[in-house]
Structure 1
């Protein structure tokens, strides 16, 4: 084999395996349990050159394939660890990898991944002051360097800063999660706090080039142009449409305050510093290898999209591409095809675009599914929803079928009346303005004062739908600051606009089809085809997605003309 990667199921390790395989290398992946192969397959990586081997680095290693390059990406990265637990991987494990590598007859390089705060330090690690994670990394770094010198092992140490990218949900991600959920009243640290980043794609490309360069280097791999923490958080806040804290709390004060009051893990406070790092050798190496870091602000915005899409590790995104876009003066969460969708899907209350995931699985073509302004993951805008919708669909070059649910039916009708040449037809699913408002309010439970703290299970029962990822997603958004309040306000606006929506229905000139559940029928007759799905309620796209999809397909022929 060309290389072996220890810690191959970790955030860095798995991406490194993917990079090496993509370069045509034969790679052994040392794992305890093989969750790597499914992940590589999901990323479209050819695994023909992969050999998955079982290894536990906390014990002496044997029986592994001979390789040329050894990467130790294994590490126990967590705060609140016990000393014994942290040392088992970060110290003993690192030495076990080195001892095994020293016996390889054709070893070209051992690449040990350390950390930007601990490598090349001297002295004894202070477990009491630093905490088990950082102290064990400090100790492991010292031990690996000393033992490599003693055994004559060709060693390179890579010291990455916070590595960001899809799948990274710890460290700085926790701060972003607090920002997103409105739980960050002040920033920890001072105005000069420097938390540097590096993207996962850049870092693994860097690692892949290391074995061909001379041994003995210590590379600090981080972006010197990373904004200081207040600007970094401000960049993410602006991109996601949330409010950034204006105040800072010095790390020294946080250390003195009770953790129950601050919510800050004491081990994270050591990272709140203004220190800078010796990156000259890494920058020179990268230039020689033709590697260039992406702009820090661009990387942070892309990472924020990934974090929100994955609910900070709690969910899997269902529709790509996704991210925040500027629409009608506000930040809007948009998933799917922006330019040539076959269907545009607009959700109702109290849901978000994830509502459409079961239905979209049955649709053959590309879809566009946004979160409505002020709802779900989208920030509020001071523009009317129909103006927002016109701006959202500005880049669309196809003539899609516009599919709206409940609250969204009114804005969809307005768009169809104003822009009949832009869509091929309109499908209204459970149009609220044609249904009984009192019973719908009782079913949805939107007037509940505790809506912000509603659980997914209770929300599912209230809506009469199965508990699943779509309801979990909606419940998570309702817990965000301001969303529950805006849901109630949207309901009131919707109720007040029933007559306007009814009048628009009589004016629309594109083909219209209405889909409702038998348990949630229309309360008045309309001059358009109505399909009633037996056994469904207000959310047939959740409970009967295949049937709704069939009716959309049946509608496409007359709608498309």
Structure 2
């Protein structure tokens, strides 16, 4: 084989395998269980040159295919590990890989992936002070260097910093999650804390180039231009539309305070440092290999999009592309799908978010655009009128899509259709609240906001009369964000106040319109436009009768010539 990668199912290892395969190399992936192949296929990687082999590096290695280049990307990365568990992979496992590589007759290079804070250490690490993860990485780094020298193994060590990118949900990601969920009242560390990053794409390209360079080098792979931690968090907060903490707590104080009070894992505190690192060799190497570090701020924003889309590793995004969008008025809006040429624009009702449309979109043939309404779902709160927000959202759309709205969103959609009949091909109102009896249940109680904020997905599904599923779990998670539940109740009151106006506007509409309702959620106001009734459905037919809803959207599409 051209290369063998140990730890090939990990965050770094799997991306490295993908990079080497894209370069046309024959790659053996050493794994315990093959979760790698489905991931590579999902990424569109040609696996013709891939050989999956079973290996447990915590034991001496035998019966593996020979390879020219050996990468050890295996590591036990977690905090709170026991010493024996951490050493099994990070020390014993690293030495087992080295011993096996030393016996290869055609070995060109062993690339050991260490860490940006460990290779600067000397002497036996203090497990009690550092914690098992960091101490075992230091011990493994020292042991690999010493043993490679004794066996004359051509070794290169890569010391990456915090690696960010799609699929990275540990380390710095936990700090971002706390920021997103309003659980970060103060920033750990001081104003000079330097937590450098590198992107996964840059790192694996760097690793792929190492075997062709001279052996014996240590490369600190990180972006020296990473903003200091307060600015880093501020950049992500601004992008996501949340408030960044204004205060900080020095790492020394955090060490003395009870963990139950701070929520900080003691093992993470040593990373809160102002230290800088010897990156000269890595920068020279990158320049010679024509590798360019992407701008840190852009990389952080893109990673924030991925984290929120995947709910910090708890789900898989149903619609791509996705990300936060800033309107002309400065509103931060979450948008998923085709922004310029959608066939359908899907606006959700309460107390849901754009994920409400996932079951329906799976049955629609064309591209869709699905935003979270301002102040709801993942979109930030704003003082901008919702009508101005919708006009701004659709200003970049170059097609004449069907505008599809549910419940509360039917009012803004109707007003847009009246004001801009030339911008859309048709209007579909699903369970239009302004034509139905005022809702009862979780959004109307005097204690609605605290009730909604505390609702589990199971309770919310029961209250809405729909099956519990990922769409309801997504909505329940968003309702726990600061202020979200209160904004839902405010939106309900505003919708009730606008109902008479909306009914009058419906009579002025010149755009083709259709109404879709469930038989258990009938209209209470007579209308002079087509009404499709879905038997057995309630107020949320998207979640209970998705194929039927999609059928009505497609039927109207064909009728309108869309």
Q: Per the shorter chain, which TM-score range? A: over 0.9
Q: 1:116 to 1:532 in 2, by over 3 A?
A: same
2:494 maps to 1:493: yes
Tell me, in whole angstroms, the C-alpha distance in 2 between the residues paired with 1:140 and 1:441: 55
Corresponding position of 1:373: 374
Q: 1:279 to 1:532 in 2, by over 3 A?
A: same
Corresponding position of 2:467: 466
8 Å contact from structure 2 (residues 194, 275) kept in 1:
yes
Q: Give the secondary structure class of the aligned counterpart of 1:473.
A: helix
Q: Give the secondary structure class of the aligned counterpart of 1:215.
A: coil
8 Å contact from structure 1 (residues 444, 462) kept in 2:
no
2:235 maps to 1:238: no
Tell me, in whole angstroms, the C-alpha distance in 1 between the residues paired with 2:445 and 2:394: 29
Corresponding position of 2:192: 192
Tell me, in whole angstroms, the C-alpha distance in 2 between the residues paired with 1:102 and 1:442: 67
Corresponding position of 1:523: 524
2:224 maps to 1:224: yes
State the 1:558 CA deviation.
Answer: 2.8
8 Å contact from structure 1 (residues 446, 488) kept in 2:
no
Q: Give the secondary structure class of the aligned counterpart of 2:387.
A: helix
Corresponding position of 2:418: 417
Corresponding position of 1:49: 49
After superposition, give the CA deviation of every residue in 1:461-516 in whole Å (9 maximum; x if it has no partner).
11111111101110110011111110111111111111111111111110000000
TM-score normalised by structure 1 residue count: 0.99
State the 1:439 CA deviation.
Answer: 3.9
Corresponding position of 1:16: 16
After superposition, give the CA deviation of every residue in 1:212-263 in whole Å (9 maximum; x if it has no partner).
0000000000000000000000000000000000001000000000000000
State the 1:450 CA deviation.
Answer: 2.3
Gaps of 5+ in 1: none
Q: How does 1:218-297 map to 2 (within 5 A)?
A: 218-297=218-297
Q: How does 1:32-431 map to 2 (within 5 A)?
A: 32-327=32-327, 328-431=329-432
Pairwise CA RMSD: 1.2
Aligned residue-pair number: 561
Tell me, in whole angstroms, the C-alpha distance in 2 between the residues paired with 1:265 and 1:138: 19
Q: 1:448 to 1:190 in 2, by over 3 A?
A: closer
Q: Give the secondary structure class of the aligned counterpart of 1:80.
A: coil
Deviates more, 1:338-347 or 1:437-446: 437-446
2:538 maps to 1:537: yes
Tell me, in whole angstroms, the C-alpha distance in 2 between the residues paired with 1:354 and 1:28: 39
State the 1:448 CA deviation.
Answer: 5.8
State the 1:326 CA deviation.
Answer: 0.6
8 Å contact from structure 1 (residues 254, 262) kept in 2:
yes
Tell me, in whole angstroms, the C-alpha distance in 2 between the residues paired with 1:384 and 1:41: 44
8 Å contact from structure 1 (residues 341, 396) kept in 2:
yes
Tell me, in whole angstroms, the C-alpha distance in 1 between the residues paired with 2:3 and 2:466: 50
Gaps of 5+ in 2: none
State the 1:112 CA deviation.
Answer: 0.2
2:489 maps to 1:483: no
Q: Give the secondary structure class of the aligned counterpart of 2:450.
A: coil
Q: Give the secondary structure class of the aligned counterpart of 1:345.
A: strand
State the 1:329 CA deviation.
Answer: 2.1
After superposition, give the CA deviation of every residue in 1:416-467 in whole Å (9 maximum; x if it has no partner).
0000000000000000011110446679998263211210011111111111
8 Å contact from structure 1 (residues 350, 446) kept in 2:
no
8 Å contact from structure 2 (residues 101, 107) kept in 1:
yes
8 Å contact from structure 1 (residues 182, 481) kept in 2:
yes
Tell me, in whole angstroms, the C-alpha distance in 2 between the residues paired with 1:407 and 1:37: 44
State the 1:386 CA deviation.
Answer: 1.0
After superposition, give the CA deviation of every residue in 1:138-185 in whole Å (9 maximum; x if it has no partner).
000000000000000000000000000000000000000000000000
State the 1:70 CA deviation.
Answer: 0.2
Tell me, in whole angstroms, the C-alpha distance in 2 between the residues paired with 1:441 and 1:51: 54
State the 1:401 CA deviation.
Answer: 0.2
Q: Give the secondary structure class of the aligned counterpart of 2:560.
A: helix
State the 1:557 CA deviation.
Answer: 2.5
State the 1:534 CA deviation.
Answer: 0.5
